């Protein structure tokens, strides 16, 4: 472990990041800091997978109260998980370029405030899901928070290079929450979507870990990009990208994909695979740069967004590719 982390463990700090704690800050700045703890961009991406899954499960527009409860409860669960993560990682965040401006590092929010805020969000999320959906969706909400906070953040992140693989399970729970909120059970289409997000997470995050490899090396977090060559990382990106696209196409023979989803998943999936192979090719060159890795990172977000938007559109198109599905109860 770096000497900077050792000094942090002893209660000293090599920088003045906590200086703002000596002064009062305004309400707007404080509110903005609390919002930042929830990692809004991550929350947005999770919500992008939630509503389309509900529409697919209903084969149309679900009950509005169920939609609101699921979306709000899911957003709060994601926010709580992220806030807990910021609290847990506050000792290393100050040494990483990507995270050095987080509220717990700058002192805009104290550890005690962050912990209370995290618990409030978690309780609110579970309560809303319990009141507005059903016991199964609520159970998945609890599981999502537990898996991200305890299994990933506390146990796996600093111990194994497989951290982000299993951490991806937490990000896949929203589709199970969404599906069970509508249908009261879990069926194969939901399982397929769960696996798609699970497989998508490594080729989404590993390119980012290449860009910030020095950050992770500094704090001894064994992200694959920090402990492996760019060639090995990119080869794993290729494998997981292929697996992601293949699983996404399983909805077609299962009869749950219409013409919009089929075309979108095929074209965007082909694009995703192509760019992953380009990354692998470029990773073997001496002039390889993290900008090429970030291209795959940004594309992965576009890919996931496109296929889930297509899922939401299909039920309203009336595609001949869709069979007579089992209707929602």
Task: Look up the CATH architecture of domain 37-184.
Answer: Orthogonal Bundle (1.10)
Token pair for residue 93? 């965040």
Contact indicator for 62, 130 with CB cutoff of 8 Å: no
CA distance 208 to 111: 27
Task: Kindly write down the DSSP assignment for every residue of 93-131, as one continuous string.
Answer: HTT-TTTTTSHHHHTSS-HHHHHHHHHHHHHHHHHHHHH
State the 10-residue block means of pLDDT for the chain, 329 residues long.
38 42 74 94 86 95 96 96 96 91 95 97 98 97 96 93 86 96 96 96 92 89 90 95 98 93 97 96 84 90 96 81 49
Each residue of 76-100: pLDDT tens digit?
Answer: 999 999 999 999 999 999 999 889 9
Token pair for residue 95? 């040494």
3-state secondary structure 16-39: CCCHHHHCCCCHHHHHHHHHHHCC
Each residue of 180-210: pLDDT tens digit?
Answer: 999 999 999 999 999 999 999 999 999 988 8
The reported pLDDT for the residue numbered 313 is 95
* Helix, strand, coil percent values for the chain (each to nearest 5): 75, 0, 25
The reported pLDDT for the residue numbered 244 is 98
């Amino acid at each position: 472990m770096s000497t900077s982390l050792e000094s942090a463990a002893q209660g000293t700090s090599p920088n003045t990041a906590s200086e703002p704690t000596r002064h009062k800050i305004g309400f707007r700045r404080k509110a903005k800091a609390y919002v930042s703890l929830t990692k809004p961009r991550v929350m947005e991406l999770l919500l992008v997978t939630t509503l389309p899954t509900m529409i697919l499960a209903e084969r149309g527009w679900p009950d509005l109260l169920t939609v609101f409860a699921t979306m709000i409860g899911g957003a709060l669960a994601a926010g709580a998980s992220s806030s807990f993560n910021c609290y847990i990682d506050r000792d290393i965040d100050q040494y990483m370029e990507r995270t050095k401006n987080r509220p717990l590092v700058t002192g805009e929010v104290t550890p005690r405030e962050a912990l209370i805020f995290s618990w409030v969000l978690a309780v609110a999320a579970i309560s809303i899901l319990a009141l507005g959906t059903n016991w199964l969706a609520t159970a998945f909400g609890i599981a999502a928070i537990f898996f991200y906070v305890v299994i990933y953040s506390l146990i796996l992140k600093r111990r194994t290079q497989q951290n982000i693989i299993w951490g991806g399970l937490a990000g896949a729970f929203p589709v199970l929450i969404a599906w069970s909120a509508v249908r009261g059970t879990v069926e194969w289409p939901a399982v397929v979507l769960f696996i798609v997000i699970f497989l998508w997470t490594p080729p989404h995050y590993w390119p980012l870990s290449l860009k910030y490899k020095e950050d992770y090396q500094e704090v001894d977090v064994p992200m694959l990009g920090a402990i492996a060559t760019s060639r090995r990382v990119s080869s794993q990106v290729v494998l997981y990208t292929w697996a992601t696209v293949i699983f996404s196409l399983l909805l077609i023979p299962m009869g749950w994909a219409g013409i919009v989803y089929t075309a979108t998943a095929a074209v965007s999936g082909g694009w995703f695979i192509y760019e992953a192979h380009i990354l692998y090719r470029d990773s073997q060159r001496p002039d390889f740069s993290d900008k090429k890795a970030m291209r795959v990172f940004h594309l992965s977000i576009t890919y996931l967004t496109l296929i889930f938007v297509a899922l939401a559109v299909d039920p309203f198109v009336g595609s001949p590719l869709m069979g007579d599905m089992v209707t929602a109860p």
